[in-house]
Structure 1
Amino acid sequence: MKKNTIGNYFNKMKEKANDVLESSSKTGELVTNAENKTSQTDKQGLRELGEQVKALVRLVKSYKRGDYRNISKKSMVLIVASLLYFVSPIDAVPDFLIGVGLLDDATVLAFLFKTLSSEIAAFQTWEKTEEDSYIKPAP
């Protein structure tokens, strides 16, 4: 019998991630769910976790729109799998356990940020450059 470990749940999410990434409606649903759940992270004192998720959501949105493609498909699948893990209420540590329910989510996201740090940093640099180059209309 398989143990309910973070790795086992994450592997299930990786199996679903490619399908989600290929479907605009599924990607949109994932993005919405991730954005909604970030409000929980702020309430539980995990603001940095919420900020990381928001950065990943922006990356997924930019990738789906075709604005940003300087990232491998394999990395995008890992990002989507991490977001799927984050939004899933039932994983290695169920989210309804106040105080500890988001700890496994934070672990998965910390692993992702460590593994893909250069690609995520490159996106954030690109994002900042895009933001700085946007000419705001006069008031």
Structure 2
Amino acid sequence: MFRKNIIFEKEQCKYDDEAKVYLGNQQKTQQLLNKARKKAQRKKGNLGEAWNKLQLFIDLVKAYSKGEYRNVSTKTIITVIVALLYFVSPLDLIPDFIIGFGFIDDAAMIGYTLKKISTEIDLFSEWKKSRNF
């Protein structure tokens, strides 16, 4: 378990600087969200339970970038953007073109990210429900 965390931390670090660029660029963020939505829709069956969590990540970044929801740390937003960048990248730990296995690492990264930010994502989820977002 600990070794798996180290692997995901290293992968997240690869995208950290790129994720910071998205914070101040709503157009670039929207492009990332569109890419993530399209890929998620195509691969919905392969993602299993991670699909709903991915949708929550997309909604969080969308609400944050529009200024609708700011009750989240910058570190958390960067972490979620990193997870989305990892998800849309075709070349990650297990490349997406490997049929049947290419999304295992994506789903695992989503789960790992969710664990890291569980408190803040729970608060966002409650906010989202209260606003019918």
User: Residue 36 of structure 2 aligns to a residue in which SS?
Assistant: helix
User: Residue 55 of structure 1 aligns to a residue in which SS?
Assistant: helix
With the length of structure 2 as denominator, give the TM-score of the two structures.
0.88
Q: 1 CA distance for matches of 2:52 and 2:42?
A: 12
Judge which range, 77-86 or 21-30, deviates more: 21-30
Q: Work out whether residues 6 and 92 of structure 1, in 8 Å CA contact, stay in contact via their aligned partners in 2.
A: no
In the alignment of these two chains, the number of paired residues is: 127
Q: Does 1:25 align with 2:27?
A: yes
Q: 2 CA distance for matches of 1:37 and 1:48?
A: 15
Over aligned residues, Cα RMSD in angstroms?
1.6
State the match for 1:49 in structure 2: 50
Q: Work out whether residues 8 and 112 of structure 2, in 8 Å CA contact, stay in contact via their aligned partners in 1.
A: no
Specify which of 34, 37, 41 is matched with residue 36 of structure 2.
34
State the match for 1:97 in structure 2: 98
With the length of structure 1 as denominator, give the TM-score of the two structures.
0.85
How far is the alpha carbon of 1:9 from its aligned partner?
3.2
Q: 2 CA distance for matches of 1:113 and 1:48?
A: 12
How far is the alpha carbon of 1:39 from its aligned partner?
1.8
- The correspondence of residues 79-90 of structure 1 with structure 2, limited to 5 A, is 79-90=80-91
Structure 2: give runs of 5+ residues left out of the alignment: 1-6
Q: 2 CA distance for matches of 1:41 and 1:49?
A: 11
How far is the alpha carbon of 1:41 from its aligned partner?
2.9
Judge which range, 99-108 or 77-86, deviates more: 99-108
- The correspondence of residues 50-69 of structure 1 with structure 2, limited to 5 A, is 50-69=51-70
User: Computing the radius of gyration over CA atoms, which structure comes out larger, 1 or 2?
Assistant: 1
Give the AA of the match of 2:74: K
Structure 1: give runs of 5+ residues left out of the alignment: 133-139
How far is the alpha carbon of 1:47 from its aligned partner?
3.2
**Residues 6, 98 of structure 1: alpha-carbon distance in 2 compared, 3 angstrom cutoff:** farther
How far is the alpha carbon of 1:10 from its aligned partner?
2.2
Q: What is the identity percentage for the equivalent residue pairs of Structure 1 and Structure 2? A: 35
Q: 2 CA distance for matches of 1:14 and 1:120?
A: 19
Q: Work out whether residues 82 and 109 of structure 1, in 8 Å CA contact, stay in contact via their aligned partners in 2.
A: yes
State the match for 1:9 in structure 2: 11
